[in-house]
Amino acid sequence: MDHFHTKTHKLKGSISPNIQENIKYTKKVMQNCNDLVQKQFKIGINHEISLYIVYMDGLVDTERLQESVIRPLLQDSFPQERTAIDQYVIESADWKWINTMEDAMTAILSGNTVLFLDKEARAILFSSKSFPTRGVQNADQEVAIVGPKDSFTESLRTNTALIRRRIRDTRLKVIQKQIGTRSKTDYALMYIDDLVQIDILNKIKKQMDKICVDGIFDNGMLQQYLEKDSRTPFPLYQLTQRPDKVASSIMEGRIAVVLDNSPMVLLLPVTLNVFFQASDDYYNRWEITTFVRILRYMAAIISIGLPGFYVAIAGFHPEVLPTPFLLALISAREGVPFPVIVEVLLMELSFELLREAGIRLPGQLGGTMGVVGGLIVGQAAVDAHLVSTIVVIVVALTAIATFSIPNELFTSAFRLMKFFLIMMCAFWGLYGFFLGFLAIFIHLFYLENYGVPYAHPMVEEKGKLSVAFQDFMVRYPLKRMKYRPEFTKEGARVRKKEEQDEK
């Protein structure tokens, strides 16, 4: 640890009234930083006021800096009073006085400009950020047939603007702080003041303040520090790249965590049900949405249980099958040298390898690899009598069911649970199948997220069931969805439009 920094990597010292001391300090702390821009000049009628301006090349809008800060300072009519400087730099809309070197260096590294003045024990911070970022693009990971197509970028301010554009309410709050002792990454908590549960908000704030780590570079890292129970494969958070989904979640009383440099936004708290909901569910008619949601829940059961069920039936209980189907099964397995469990594991692991390879390969090559590789490997395995055709069908149906669920993080948990059920069925047959599902259900009912039951609304109080199930498997018509979900604080569950209608 050098003598400039504390144990928590914060800089020591305050801004000195001696500008030469500030210059010396800055050059020592920022030595070997060739992208640092430093300029010294004097202003005033007699050039009696010394200034020292510092910023990082590539992070600053130099044209705006020149027009709103430097040019007004260099004009000949500048008064001798040093206190009048803030009046002359007011052309920069966002500026403030700072007193410590920690604030000054953090501001410089964040893309701001700092102006030191001789005989002033403080400096002026100008907002001059201009990061190289992507433009707003289509949501490629959460494709919707109808509805908005835009998605978040790696810019914090762009992302908060996309949300603010959809919720023009003064009660939408944006609390911005930094996280990471070295990275000092900006993040923002966004919520609606009169809808959020204050105890949940305070818990999240407290957790965020307690995180002490060198750097946080993506919301995927942040959620791992926030989750209380790391012994579950099921996600206790929701990541999305769609601004419309974040806006609708905030209006249900949830809290959005927007992290700089991350194109995904973290939503808290969550329940099991939200992972089966897609953005375009609310842009389609309720009959279509209800049908699709029922398909998704069926797909979830198939993606977890179908391979294990096949292992249990083919390996332990073939007598439960009708005779024609049993004969077809025996005929398909003729010549296969492996037991059923090895056959299923071989195909499932092969598919997982193809899936991973398809993700890592660039562009369209990845999709081609998944399709062609699956066809070639599957057909070759059947022709070589390594697996039966029924196993190929089972694995293919399982994969299709997995892709039908609109949340990638959630399906990752299903992929793990699938292998758990396969092993249970390999040891105990159908008994293992039902015991495995029972264990999964007990685990889901045990989980909670900031006091909200993970299995909501299946564990809702009896008197509230009609309210809780209005947006579950069956999505009520929008006109009949009179109440906000369980995330909203007590007293704000009735939607505003319905309150006005009742009056």
Give percent of the chain above pLDDT 90: 44
pLDDT of residue 474: 87
3-class state of residue 179 by DSSP: strand
Q: Would the pLDDT of 90 be above 70? A: no
DSSP-assigned states of every residue in 276-326: G--GGGGTS-HHHHHHHHHHHHHHHHHHHHHHHHHHHHHHT-GGGS-HHHH
Which of residues 141 and 34 earns the better pLDDT score?
34
The closest alpha carbon to 224, from 266, 258, 175, belongs to 266
Q: Is the pLDDT of residue 81 over 80?
A: no
φ, ψ dihedrals at 129, nearest 5°: -65, 140
- The conformation of residue 83, written as its DSSP 8-state character, comes to G
pLDDT at 308: 95
Question: 428 falls in which pLDDT band (50, 70, 90)?
Answer: very high
pTM: 0.85
Distance CA 459, CA 462 (A): 9
**In terms of pLDDT, which residue wins out, 97 or 361?**
97
Give Cα 362 to chain centroid, integer Å.
23
The arrangement of strands across the sheet holding 185-192 comes to: 172-179, 185-192, 255-259, 265-268, 238-240
- Distance (Å, rounded) from C-alpha 250 to C-alpha 236? 17
* Contact present, 208 and 179 (Cβ < 8 Å): yes
Per-residue model confidence (pLDDT) at position 499: 45
pLDDT over 60 (residue 80):
no
pLDDT, position 88: 57
Tell me how far apart the alpha carbons of residues 137 and 304 are, in angstroms, rounded to a whole number. Answer: 34
Tell me if residue 251 falls in helix, strand or coil.
coil
Q: What is the mean pLDDT of residues 145-171?
A: 91
Place of tokens 């059947």: 382
**C-alpha dihedral sign at 378, 382, 388, 390:** positive
Which of 72, 74, 52, 70 is closest to 62 using CA atoms?
Answer: 70
Query: Could you check whether the bond before residue 269 is cis, i.e. omega within 30 degrees of 0?
Result: yes
> How many CB atoms sit inside 10 A of residue 117's CB?
20
Coil, strand or helix at 53: strand
**Mean predicted confidence (pLDDT) in 104-108:** 92
Cβ–Cβ < 8 Å for 486, 271: yes
| pLDDT at residue 327, rounded to an integer | 87
pLDDT at 503: 44
pLDDT level of residue 367 (50, 70, 90 thresholds):
low
Q: Which two tokens stand for residue 390?
A: 């029924």
Q: Which has more pLDDT, 192 or 64?
A: 192
For residue 452, which phi and psi values (nearest 5 degrees)? -95, 125
SS3 state of residue 274: helix
Q: Which residue has the higher pLDDT, 73 or 339?
A: 339
Residue 498 is predicted with a pLDDT of 44
| φ/ψ (deg, to 5) at 427 | -95, -40
**More confident call, 503 vs 188:** 188
CB 461 within 8 A of CB 164: no
Per-residue pLDDT of 164-208, as tens digits, reads 999 999 999 999 999 998 889 999 999 999 899 999 999 999 999
Q: What is the pLDDT of residues 333-353, one digit of tens each?
A: 888 888 999 999 999 998 888
Distance CA 51, CA 22 (A): 11
Most confident of 44-53, 227-236, 402-411, 426-435: 426-435
pLDDT at res. 66 = 84
Query: Could you identify the residue written with the tokens 């949340």?
Result: 407
Average pLDDT over residues 352-377: 74
Average pLDDT of the residues in 214-226: 90
Please give the residue that has the higher pLDDT: either 337 or 299: 299
Taking the C-alpha atoms of residue 186 and residue 181, their distance in angstroms, rounded to an integer, is: 12
Q: How far is CA 282 from CA 145, 278, 327, 408, in A?
A: 12, 8, 47, 20
- Residue 53 CB: number of other CB atoms within 10 A? 20
Whether cis (ω within 30° of 0) applies to the bond prior to 457 is: yes
pLDDT at 37: 93
**CA–CA dist 415, 412 (Å, integer):** 5
Question: What is the Rg, in whole angstroms, of the alpha carbon atoms belonging to the chain?
Answer: 30
Burial class (CB in 10 A: 0-12, 13-18, 19+), 334: exposed
Residue-averaged pLDDT of the chain: 86
Give, in order, the Cα–Cα distances in Å from 237 to each of 69, 139, 174, 415, 449.
43, 19, 20, 18, 8
Show the tokens assigned to 463. Answer: 């008197």
Residues in Cβ contact with 46 at an 8 Å cutoff, skipping those fewer than 6 apart:
80
Instruction: Give the confidence band of 494 by pLDDT, cuts at 50, 70, 90.
Output: confident
Among the listed ranges 324-328, 370-374, 425-429, which one has the minimum average pLDDT value? 370-374
Using an 8 Å Cβ cutoff, are 188 and 176 in contact? yes
What size, in residues, is the chain?
Answer: 503
**Residue 451 CA neighbour count, 13 Å, CB half:** 13
In 79-155, alpha helices (H):
85-88, 101-109
Flag the least confident range among 161-165, 199-203, 352-356, 436-440: 352-356
**Chain centre to alpha carbon of residue 446:** 24
Please check the confidence at residue 279 and state whether its pLDDT lies above 90.
no
- In this structure, the dihedral spanned by the alpha carbons of residues 200, 206, 209 and 214, taken in order and rounded to 10 degrees, is -80
Nearest Cα residue to 440 out of 270, 227, 234:
234
Q: Does position 142 have pLDDT exceeding 90, yes or no?
A: no
Q: What is the pLDDT of residue 93?
A: 59
Query: Which helix (H) or strand (E) segment is 228 a member of?
Result: none
Cβ(66)–Cβ(46) below 8 Å: no
pLDDT band at 502 (very low <50, low <70, confident <90, very high): very low
How confident is the model at residue 190, as a pLDDT? 97
